[in-house]
Each structure stands twice: as C-alpha cells, then as structure tokens.
A and B are shown apart, each in its own frame.
Chain A
Amino acid sequence: MEKKNLLIVDDSRVARMVVRSIIENLKANVVILEAANGQEALQAIRDNQVHAVLLDHGMPDKSGLEVAVEIRAEKPDILIYMLTANVQESMKSRAQTVGVGFIEKPATEEKIRDFLERTGS
C-alpha cells in the first residue's frame, strides 16, 4: 500500500518531536513532513502530495485556523485536524465552522491512533 504524506505543523520543535515519535511507535504507514509555521506549511502542501495535516493553532506568523482556511482553498481534499492547547469551546466551534477536526494537546498515542485511522493509514 502506498505511504501517505502526513504534515505536522507546529512552531514548537518539541511538540513536533513528540507527535513524530508517537506516529513512529504506532508504525503507521505514513511519510512524516514537518513545518514550523504557516508559510512553511503552505509551501509543503504545494511541493508534496499531502494527505493529512496536524495543525497547531497558536503560531507566530499565522494562526492555525488561518492556515487551515488557506489550505482548504488550495487543496480542499486534504484532511485537516487542529492539534492545539487552546481547547476552548469557542475554538472548537470555529474549527468546526472551517470544517477541520480537533484534537486537544497534549498528543497521546490514543488520540493520534484515532487520527491515523481517519486518514486510512
């Protein structure tokens, strides 16, 4: 089965390391790409055939939701999940409005496994 490209977007290198480690431990059939901000994320989806994105919200250049809207506009088929510490109901509701899923930080094996199942990986 062809490996799917999964993009992790987070300004925290540690947060990206933790998610990567969980995915690797789960032996998911994915290629992991990383971006440290919104601009890099948009470049990554233009340069690669990305199937799914895990997206932090609180980043210095653009918020995760802003990035999600831009990804949607360019590549509407990509599965996008916010992975954020901002777990306010108002935030979840805005994510829903934009049409993206929501995972509360911290990332755990269980949460990432559920996400991977949704990507079909």
Chain B
Amino acid sequence: MPVSKLQKDALVEFLNVAIGRAARALNLMVKEEILLSIPNVDFLQRHEVLARLNETTGGVVSAIQQTFESSFSGDAFLVFPENQSLKLVQYIIGDLIDEESMTELEQETMTEVGNVVLNACMSSLSDQLNQPIQSSIPLFLSGDPQEILFGPHPRQSDDTLVMFITVMFQMKSGQIGGYIMLVLDMDSANNFLGQIDKMLPPPNDE
C-alpha cells in the first residue's frame, strides 16, 4: 500500500500524541515514569505479524483487547509477556490486598489497566482526528499470540495484509514493559489515512 512520506510522518505524529496520553494514564497508575519507543507502522501479512509478536514477546502473552469503530475500525491491544502481568497487579493494587487475592484479581486488574490505557490512546486519536470512536468493553486474553490477535478460528488466510502499529513501553525501573498494538484491515487503514490526510495542510503547488 503506497503511503507518502508526509502521510507516514503525520501518522507517527498523531500516534505519538495518542501513545503519550496512554503512557500518562499508565504513569498515574503505577506512579513511575513510562519510557516509549517511536511508533512503528508496517503493512504486513498476518503470518509476519505473528512472527514479529513471537520475536518481541517470546511467545505466550497476556493481552487486553478492545475493538474500536469509527470511519475506520480495528482492534487495539495492550500486550505483556505473560510473566509480567502479576508484577503489574502488584504495582496497581498490591497495597490493597493480600498475596493470595492477587492471582484472583489478576484478570480484573489487567482488564481495567487495558481499559484505561487503550481508551486514553483511542480518545486522543478521536480528538485529533475529530472523529468519535466507539470502543467495546475490554477483554482479557492469555495464551498463543495467533489466537489473541486473530481469534481461535480465523476467517482470513495468513497472507491477508494488515496495517500493524506497535509501540513499546517500559517502566523506567525496567520492572515492566509491554506493547500497545493496533491492527487494522486494509480498508480501514485506507480510511484511517484518509482521515489523517484531511488534517494535513493542502499541498503546495509552487
């Protein structure tokens, strides 16, 4: 899919602002600075997305997924290597409960973290693009990246092209890190870029 340099630059800038807002939300929850990578935007076949995810997370992951809908639609994920989710729970509600309850509340805590972080990101995109975005109730998922990203019974083949956006984040202490990921099919990616085009200044004909 052809994306101009200006479009990609604008897209990364919009995403930087959105992810910054998400990081701020996470920062308030864990009370520690959050370091962010530059957003990575790729057009990949689904099997390439999975290979990338396996490479970056080492396999089994915990994730919170929200579907979003606007003039474009897709899925947003907050993804952690599986062994990090209990650590995060400790940070968020460790003072409020005993160790035994920690595992019991792991899913609920992760879901609420995902709700806050992903909504912060999507709300920022909504405000920047002046497009209301509807988000689903967040869903906690754990296990194989393929099932998490594309569901247990994928309808599309592995060579289907998707727009794949990833940002890595990490607490400054290095204790916990993960990824925010957005997956859009190509029709939605086109609409998303179309919305971004509308926000760009008109081309200079001189």
Contacts and interface: CB of A to CB of B under 8 A. Distances in A.
Contact of B115 (A17, A58, A60): A58
B85 interface: no
Contacts of A87: 21, 119-120, 123
A49 interface: no
A85 B119 contact: yes
Given A17-B96, A106-B116, A88 B29 contact: no
A84 to B, nearest CB: 8
Given A86-B119, A86-B123, A15 B137 contact: no
A32 B52 CA distance: 47
A89 interface: yes
6 contacts: A12-B112, A12-B115, A13-B108, A18-B92, A85-B120, A106-B116
B127 interface: yes
Interface of A: 11-15, 17-18, 21, 58-60, 84-91, 105-106, 108
B134 to A, nearest CB: 9
A91 B123 contact: yes
Given A58-B119, A89-B127, 9 more contacts: A11-B137, A13-B105, A14-B111, A58-B137, A85-B123, A90-B132, A91-B123, A105-B115, A105-B116
Nearest to B97: A17
Interface residues of B, number: 27
Interface of B: 21, 25, 28-29, 92-93, 95-97, 105, 108-109, 111-112, 115-116, 118-120, 122-123, 126-127, 132-133, 135, 137
Given A14-B93, A21-B96, A60-B137, A108 B28 contact: yes
A88 to B, nearest CB: 4
Given A58-B137, A106-B29, A106-B116, A88 B93 contact: no
A91 B119 CA distance: 12
Contacts of B132: 88, 90
B123 A17 contact: no
B170 to A, nearest CB: 19
Contacts of A86: 119, 123, 135
B127 A88 contact: yes
A58 B120 CA distance: 13
Given A60-B137, A86-B135, A87-B123, A14 B25 contact: no
From B108, B109, B115, residue with most partner A Cβ within 10 Å? B115
A17 B97 CA distance: 10
A119 B105 CA distance: 31
B105 A18 contact: no
A85 B133 CA distance: 13
Contacts of B96: 17-18, 21
Contacts of A12: 108, 111-112, 115
A65 to B, nearest CB: 13
